[in-house]
Amino acid sequence: MDYSTNITYLFLEGHVELEKYRYFYFVITFTVYTLILCCNAVVISVIYTNKPLHEPMYIFIAALLCNSLFGTAAFYPKVLSDFLSEKQIISHGACLFQAFCLYTYAAAEFALLSAMAYDRYVSICKPLQYATLVKMSTVKKILFFCWFVPSCEIGISIILTYRQLCKFKLNRVYCSNYTIAKLSCGDTTVMNTYGLFALAIAVVPPMTFIFYSYVRIIYVCLKNSKDFRRKALQTCFPHLCILTTFSCTACFEVINSRFEGNVPHIFAMIMSVENMVISPLLNPIVYGLKLQEISKRIKRLIWKRKMHIFAD
C-alpha cells in the first residue's frame, strides 16, 4: 500500500509497553500535571499580586514558569487522553503543531535561563549600573526576544518538515520534529542540516553566555566578603539548579533521538519525557523555597487561607 499519498494520521507506539498498566500511569501522570499546574500557578500569582516583586529578577522567574505551563499544555493533555484511548493516534498537522510547541518551549527555556543569568550578572558584578542596564523596557524587549526568536526558528524547521509521509508509526508518546522527519518521503538532508543548525543556535549562544556570566560572578565573589558570597550564592543557586537539570535531560533527549544508542526502549522513553516532568515541577518548588521574598509571601498566603477556613 502506498502511504505517501494518503497518510493523514500517525500512530504513537510509545504507549505499547505501557498498555498493561495504562490506568496506573494515567493516575501518576494526572497527579504530576496537577502538581505542575498548582505549583507554577501559585508562584506566578504571588509574583503578579505583590508589587514589591515587580522587579526584573522575579519577572524573569514568572516568565520561566509561564513557559513551563506552555510546554506542559502541549504535552500532558494529549498523553492523558491517550492513556484512556484504545488507539493512540494523532493527525499529521496536530503532530507538527505539538512538535512546534515543545521545541519552542525548550528553546525559550534556554533563552530565559540566559536572560536570568544576565540579570544576576549585572546585579552582582555591576550593582551601581543595575537600574540603568536592567530597566523594565529592557526586560520587555528581552522577554519578547526569548519567545519570538525561538518560535521563528522552530517554525522554519516545522515548515521544512511538512511534506508527504511514507511511514506512519512514531515510536514515542509525543511528536518530535526529528522523528517526524524520518517518516518523510525522499531526501531529508536539508531538514536534518537545518535541525542541527537550529539546535546549535538555541543552545550554544545561551550556554556560552551563561558560562561567561558565572565565571564573572565567581570572580567578583572571590574578591568580596563571605557575607557577599553567601548572598550571591543564595540568589544564584536556584538558577544553577534549574539550568543543570534542564540541560542534562535535554542533552539526553537530543542524543537519544539523533543517534539512537543501545538504550533499552522503556528507559529511553522515560528519559525522553523528563524535561516535561522535572523542570516544570522543580522550577516553582526551587524558586518558591529558596528565594525568601517569594517563600515568605507564599507562607503568608497559606496562613491567610488557614485563618479564613477556621473563621468560617
Contact predicate 217/117, CB 8 Å = no
CATH of 3-311, one of 1.20.1070.10, 3.40.50.1220, 1.10.1060.10, 2.40.30.70: 1.20.1070.10
Q: What is the pLDDT of residue 106?
A: 92
Q: What is the pLDDT of residue 27?
A: 93
Q: What is the pLDDT of residue 260?
A: 60
Outline where DSSP puts E strands in the chain. 9-12, 89-91, 169-170
Q: What angle do CA 65, 68, 71 make, to 5 degrees?
A: 155
Contact predicate 241/291, CB 8 Å = no
Q: What angle do CA 13, 16, 19 make, to 5 degrees?
A: 140
pLDDT in tens, the chain (312 residues): 344 445 678 888 777 666 778 888 899 999 999 999 999 998 999 899 888 888 998 999 999 999 999 999 999 999 999 888 888 888 888 999 999 999 999 999 999 999 999 999 998 888 889 989 999 999 999 999 999 999 999 999 999 888 777 777 887 888 888 888 888 887 778 888 888 888 889 989 999 999 998 888 888 888 888 787 777 777 787 888 888 888 887 877 777 666 665 566 666 677 677 778 888 988 888 887 777 778 777 777 676 665 555 555
User: Can you give the residue ranges of every domain in the chain?
Assistant: 3-311
- Residue 184 DSSP SS3: strand
Q: What is the pLDDT of residue 4?
A: 43
What is the rounded CA–CA span in Å between residue 270 and residue 29? Answer: 12
Contact predicate 275/106, CB 8 Å = yes
| The pTM of the whole model exceeds 0.85 | yes
Q: What is the pLDDT of residue 285?
A: 87
- Closest alpha carbon to 9 in 87, 89, 100: 89
Q: What is the pLDDT of residue 19?
A: 72
Q: What is the pLDDT of residue 172?
A: 81
> Alpha carbon of 150 to those of 55, 165, 225, 238: distances in Å?
24, 26, 40, 24
Looking at residue 203, its amino acid is V
Element holding 115 (H helix, E strand): helix 92-125
Q: Please write the tens of the pLDDT for every residue from 74-96.
A: 999 999 998 888 888 888 889 99
